[in-house]
Amino acid sequence: MAVEQADVEFVVHVIAQTAVDNEKYFGDLDSVVGDGDFGYSLARGFEIVLADWDTLDRTDAGTFLQKIATIITSRIGGTSGPIWGTAFLRAGGVAKKSETLDGTVIVEILTAAIEGVKARGGAEVGEKTLLDAVVPMRDTIAILVAQGAGDQVVLDAAATTARTSAEATSVLQARRGRASYTGERSIGSPDAGAIAVAVIVEQIAEQWRQRATASA
């Protein structure tokens, strides 16, 4: 699995556009047990990313990701800004130290992002947060990368795992964030952050396929 800086930029652009396009959907999910501002907050931050896209520092992939982190942290309100910003910041740190980007490094980047989210939000898997989608997704990617699977195979499997894991958060009781205040009422609906991860990864997989087809 070979990854170029252009691929990193492509993925980040898909993340940003998907966050903006799904503002209402993510907000509606969050309003079930949260305060409903997740979709709005995420969209406002990634709107800035898209607006500043052509002027972002592209010295290397790490610098690029860290610039995204700065924008997100300063522009996204509530708890989402620090959490998503930390994820991009930690990802950028790993990318900066890597001479080449391959599947193994991508797994390291995702692991660093996960550890950043855990440290910043104090959450662990099973507490009904986006980690419940991201961690299983990372594990799936790690297995397939070790097996030498191709890019599209890895992305399709990652999307499937993220979706299945996100939907499975419906049976969990929220332990973090505003949703935790609702106690057992949080059981029965999926976590908005986990579903957002699933939607984003599905879009990455689909648009990666479209890009490959267009360039073939």
CATH value at residue 45? 1.25.40.340
Please state the pTM of the whole predicted model. 0.91
pLDDT at position 179, please?
Answer: 47
**Region at 81 (left for phi over 0; alpha for psi -120 to 50; beta for the rest):** alpha
The per-residue pLDDT for range 27-79, each reduced to its tens digit, is 998 887 666 788 998 999 999 999 999 999 999 999 999 999 999 998 887 77
The structural domain count of the chain equals 1
pLDDT at position 133, please?
Answer: 97
> Which residues span the domain enclosing 206?
2-215
pLDDT at position 167, please?
Answer: 95
